[in-house]
Amino acid sequence: MGKIKRIGVMTSGGDSPGMNAAIRSVVRACAYYRAECIGIYRGYQGLIEGDFVSLTARSVNNIINKGGTILKSARSDEFRTKEGRKKAHENLVEHELHALVVIGGDGSFTGGVIFNKEFKFPIIGIPGTIDNDIFGTSHTLGYDTALNTAVEAIDKIRDTASSHNRLFFVEVMGRDAGFIALNAGVGAGAEEILIPEEDLGLKRMLESLKKSRRAGKSSSIVVVAEGDKSGKNVYELAQYVEENLPEYEVRVSVLGHMQRGGAPSCFDRVLASRLGVKAVELLLDNETNLMVGLKNNEVITTSLEEAIKGGHAINMELLRVSDIMTT
């Protein structure tokens, strides 16, 4: 072990299920390697305000199964300023912290990269966001749980859709990325899936719905990502279909923040445990500016710069499968 003896851990940006499991893993790995672990409340804002707590292996009992984050999360405009980052650095020096584990999304990593450039402060990132939109990992923490939550909700909507012969538009999270929509759509057997990455055209959707009516289907589900490219929000889409296909009785359901909450899936808990251990081990080996992630079920590292810049291609084969399934 080198000069790293006190490691800070924080959760930043949007919360996601599995963040607590990752905090637990970082804390326990620190205890295992006899490093001190300091929790930082409310992400970069807590760093600026010196809102710190000492964490021991016992501080993180019974949190592996909890959604949200015990350290709270925040978005900090102050950290976007040089002055704010200077205050954050002063607090780190004052509390004799030697390195940071940042659990968050690409915004949090961007802040981390800038901070590292300015102060040469060692940082490792753990990808925590339900959107799965980070390059360098096949899965971000919380994505698997969010998918399962969305599928469960759509299953319930299907019950009422089929009882009343209705068409439901279900909006799921994903402003820039269609991972949840595409996978939950296939998993829940949706008729159509609208995602930000691909404009499939409204005509195609109408054709597909007509086709399914002709094929004898009396109810349908269309899954729409928040940021889909149709140019219409989910309510306008529903209205558009009602105007063009009056035979359909259309309803809208927006799943919203429920997709962020709840107990993490086993997959997310295991992923969080693996990534937390690796993050601490990297810091103790004097590595910095890396993100830990998963590829082919192996824990890998990617530079934070690359993780921020790199695109994460959606699996278009899934759209094809979805098409075939609606035959």
Q: Is 204 annotated as a binding residue?
A: no
Check residue 44 for interaction with ligand ATP (CB under 6 A): yes
The answer to whether the beta carbons of residues 109 and 102 sit under 8 Å apart is: yes
**Could you tell me whether strands 36-40 and 123-127 are parallel, antiparallel, or unpaired per DSSP bridges?**
unpaired
Check residue 289 for interaction with ligand ATP (CB under 6 A): no
Binding window for ligand ATP (CB under 6 A); candidates: 100-108, 119-127, 154-162, 238-246: 100-108
The first and second tokens of residue 249, run together, are: 């009785």
Residue from 52, 79, 143, 248 in contact with ligand ATP (CB under 6 A): 79
Min dist. Cβ of residue 203 to ligand ATP (A):
33
Query: Distance between CA 280 and CA 260 in Å, rounded?
Result: 26
Binding window for ligand ATP (CB under 6 A); candidates: 21-29, 63-71, 75-83, 156-164: 75-83
Binding window for ligand ATP (CB under 6 A); candidates: 72-80, 166-174, 178-186, 215-223: 72-80
Residue from 7, 8, 10, 14 in contact with ligand ATP (CB under 6 A): 14
Residue from 105, 125, 127, 196 in contact with ligand ATP (CB under 6 A): 105
Q: Is 242 annotated as a binding residue?
A: no
List, in order, residues 6 or more apart from 81 with CB less than 8 Å away: none
Q: Sign of torsion, CA 103 107 110 115?
A: negative
CB atoms within 10 A of CB 115: 21
Q: Sign of torsion, CA 120 121 127 133?
A: negative
Min dist. Cβ of residue 14 to ligand ATP (A):
3
Burial class (CB in 10 A: 0-12, 13-18, 19+), 70: middle
Q: Write out the DSSP string of 245-304.
A: -TT-EEEEEE-GGGGG-SPPPHHHHHHHHHHHHHHHHHHHTT--SEEEEEETTEEEEEEH
Whether 131 sits among the annotated catalytic residues: the reply is yes
φ, ψ at 192 (rounded to 5°): -140, 150
Binding window for ligand ATP (CB under 6 A); candidates: 34-42, 99-107, 247-255, 304-312: 99-107
Q: Is 260 annotated as a binding residue?
A: yes
Beta carbon nearer to ligand ATP, 71 or 237: 71
Binding window for ligand ATP (CB under 6 A); candidates: 2-10, 91-99, 109-117, 288-296: 109-117
The first and second tokens of residue 278, run together, are: 């690796």
Contact track, ligand ATP, 113-142, x by CB under 6 A:
-x--------------x-x-----------
For helices 266-284 and 143-164, what crossing angle results, to 10°? Answer: 160
Q: How big is the site for ligand ATP, counted in residues (CB under 6 A)?
A: 18
The answer to whether the beta carbons of residues 63 and 91 sit under 8 Å apart is: no
C-alpha atoms less than 13 angstroms from C-alpha of 23 in its C-beta half-sphere: 36
Beta carbon nearer to ligand ATP, 117 or 164: 117
Query: Distance between CA 291 and CA 303 in Å, rounded?
Result: 6
Q: Is 251 annotated as a binding residue?
A: yes
Residue from 68, 107, 189, 262 in contact with ligand ATP (CB under 6 A): 107
The answer to whether the beta carbons of residues 278 and 22 sit under 8 Å apart is: no
Q: In 3-state terms, what secondary structure has residue 232?
A: coil
Q: In 3-state terms, what secondary structure has residue 55?
A: strand
- Out of 131, 133, 144, 228, the active site residue is 131
Beta carbon nearer to ligand ATP, 222 or 291: 291
Catalytic residues: 131
Where is the binding site for substrate, in residues?
A: 129-131, 166, 173-175, 226, 251, 257-260
Contact residues for ligand ATP, defined by CB under 6 A? 12-14, 44, 75-76, 79-80, 104-108, 110-111, 114, 129, 131
Annotated binding site for Mg(2+): 106
